[in-house]
Amino acid sequence: MERYSRQILFSPIGTEGQERIRGKHVLIIGAGALGTGNAEVFVRAGIGKLTIVDRDYVEWSNLQRQQLYNEQDAKSRLPKAIAAKRRLEELNSTVDIKAHILDAMPEELLNLAMGVDLIIDATDNFETRMIMNDVSQKRSIPWIYGACVGSYGISFTILPGVTPCLQCLLDEVPLGGLTCDTAGIISPAVSQVVAYQTTEALKILVEDYESLSQRVVSFDLWKNEHVSLDVRKLKREECPSCGIHRTYPSLRYENQTKTAVLCGRDSVQIRPASSHSVDLLDIARILENQGKQVERNPYLIRFEDDSLKVVLFYDGRALVHGTKEIKEAKSVYHRYFG
């Protein structure tokens, strides 16, 4: 226990709390700036099991704020989940770390949430957050919302049956409308959100629920602004996600988007109607026979189509870089992959 001695000396955790942390399983959705920051804190704190889910790969623009990655990861376009797992295992080899390269949709999240004690929001899109919200309510698992853009950040801890859920807050609390594509991002804002998320997370992991804030916290570091909202009265009995008659709207198939414009880039993700593995080597050979120059690693292939760059993952999902037009991205996808 020498490794965690300074954490144990903190009386709200102590020896008993450290043992509880060691017995817990955290699921992190997203391995970008917030995801890597959260993951490192949990691994250094001695979490028992950590599961990381991310759909993307490391790019040069990530290195400014995504703390687990290096230049070689960007050069080889390594999937973020794999790169994060490798780095985290170097930090603490005793933690059981699982990495999943996939898009976090309802079926996947419902399965991954089995046996999980806490879910951390580190994604970059609101649709995934609403899916997480419904999975949290259906599985009765706490989750911690977090987002940042520019110098602004926001966080809120959601306890099923106790606090309002994200669906409850939609009409009452300003959750931010800008994206990193329109406003950029500075790393101190990321660090501040990570600090709020991981502090609340440690309270949950040691089961000190009375210390949770139950407040929406937001800030703008550049403008020297800080807001803390008491939202306990916003919990709604008629809420479709956490109310009396629940329908979990974000888990329904008709509400699932098969395409998404990615935050911060001229890129569109295309997700096939049904997830299935593809033979990347075979597809790469076909493309090369068509005169395409194909880059590949064990997890993805990459090639160019005029001004567009196309990345295909082994689950049949593709990223089309160089456009925000979904129709154009779909056309490229179907041209090469049916």
- Active centre residues (catalytic): 180
Q: How far apart are CA 144 and CA 205, in angstroms?
A: 12
Q: What angle do CA 273, 277, 280 make, to 5 degrees?
A: 120
Using alpha carbons, select from 237, 218, 133 the residue that is nearest to residue 174: 218
How many beta carbons lie within 10 A of that of residue 141, not counting itself? Answer: 20
Distance CA 243, CA 32 (A): 32
Helix, strand, coil proportions of the chain in percent (round to 5)?
Answer: 40, 25, 40
Phi, psi angles (nearest 5°) of residue 117: -95, -20
3-class secondary-structure state, position 53: strand
Please name the amino acid found at residue 85.
Answer: K
Among 235, 194, 239, which Cα is nearest to 217's?
A: 194
Dig out the tokens for 33 from the structure. Answer: 């700036």
Give the integer Cα–Cα distance in Å for 268 and 193.
27
Structure tokens at 68: 């687990």
In the numeric block, which tokens belong to residue 215? Answer: 């407040």
What are φ and ψ of residue 208, in 5° steps? -100, 70
The interaxial angle of helices 33-45 and 187-205, nearest 10 deg, is 40
**Which pair of tokens denotes residue 40?**
């490192």
Q: CB 287: neighbour CB atoms within 10 A? A: 19
Specify whether the CB–CB gap between 146 and 132 falls below 8 A.
Answer: no
Question: Is the Cβ–Cβ distance between 157 and 166 less than 8 Å?
Answer: no
